[in-house]
Amino acid sequence: MPSVDVFLPGVVDVSADATWDRLVLPEQCIQRLHEFVSWVTHRPKVELEWKFKVRGGPIALFSGPSGTGKTLAAEVLANTLDLPLYRVDLGRLISKYIGETEKNLNALFEASTNEPMLLFFDELDCCFGERNEVRDSHHRYANLEVNYLLTRLESYKGPAILTTNLRQGIDPAFIRRCQMVVEFPFPSQVEREQIWRLHLPEGAPIDEDVDTEKLARESELTGGQIRNTTVRAAFLAAGESSAITSKHIISSIQEELAKTVS
């Protein structure tokens, strides 16, 4: 069978080789991720041997600001479960042509039935906000699309992860269909220092003036921003044939923060 991303718009096979030691998250968040793994691995026992009625899933909603580890966590789970990870861009999968959305979604879920996989619906805010008041045929069809996806997710037997940057903007009817909601908070200072250390490899030439504790204290960045900062600093240093210095990192922090300025 061909890869799902060959025939569906907005569906991409993501390399999932991340491990648990890369996750810097509160303990409660880590526990919920392990619960997701347990749900997948022990479902046959609970459903078939113990005869519990399990409707679907597990479907998890990952909620938190951009860059706080939602995608990385999905990669860790896929790697742990030894499942291919397919990232779904609903903005591309949902078609403006009547009937195409249902066709695309049916193809996606049928493929996942034939080939075990972890579906990762990223950044649902634009598609899963509280359903619009029906004012015209366009709004009516948009609501039908959302309702159709909710129905398919509810009956889907495999694991799925959906992400949002703002949980408050998600339709409560959708949240009720999720088996679990995992909150990804902005990292604390202690967590930021851990992340800085993770993204400055031991084998890299790091100047002694680079102080990760000071960086964590003075720069309130997400994990994703720290990753981008360290990579840019490394290329700046490589271009100068020098070690990575605090000057390279500070310049990279300024560049990263400039991205958020509207």
Q: What percent of the chain has pLDDT over 90?
A: 58
Q: Which pTM value belongs to this model? A: 0.88
Give 222-225's long-range contacts (Cβ < 8 A, gap of 24+): 222/65, 222/66, 222/67, 222/68, 222/186, 222/187, 223/24, 223/67, 223/68, 223/69, 223/72, 223/187, 223/195, 224/66, 224/67, 224/68, 224/69, 225/67, 225/256, 225/257
Contacts of 210 (CB under 8 A, 6+ apart): 200, 244, 245, 246, 249
pLDDT of residue 168: 75
Residues of the chain with CATH 3.40.50.300: 4-183
CATH code assigned to 4-183: 3.40.50.300
- Residue 3 pLDDT grade (very low, low, confident, very high; cuts 50, 70, 90): low
- Residue 243 pLDDT grade (very low, low, confident, very high; cuts 50, 70, 90): very high
Of these ranges, 22-36, 51-65, 156-170, the one predicted with the greatest mean pLDDT is: 22-36
Residues of the chain with CATH 1.10.8.60: 189-258
Residue 132 has pLDDT above 70, yes or no: no
pLDDT of residue 6: 52
Per the CB < 8 A criterion, the answer to whether 146 and 131 are in contact is: yes
Q: Please report which helix (H) or strand (E) contains residue 163, including its range.
A: strand 160-164
| More confident site: 110 or 251 | 251
| Across 112-122, average pLDDT | 87
CATH fold label, 189-258 = Helicase, Ruva Protein; domain 3 (1.10.8)
Distances (CA, A) of 21 to 110, 194, 197: 34, 11, 12
Q: In this predicted model, what pLDDT tens digit does every residue of 73-98 receive, in sequence order?
A: 999 999 999 999 999 887 777 766 66
pLDDT of residue 141: 47
CA within 13 Å, CB half, 165: 7
Residue 234 and residue 242: Cα distance in Å, rounded?
Answer: 9
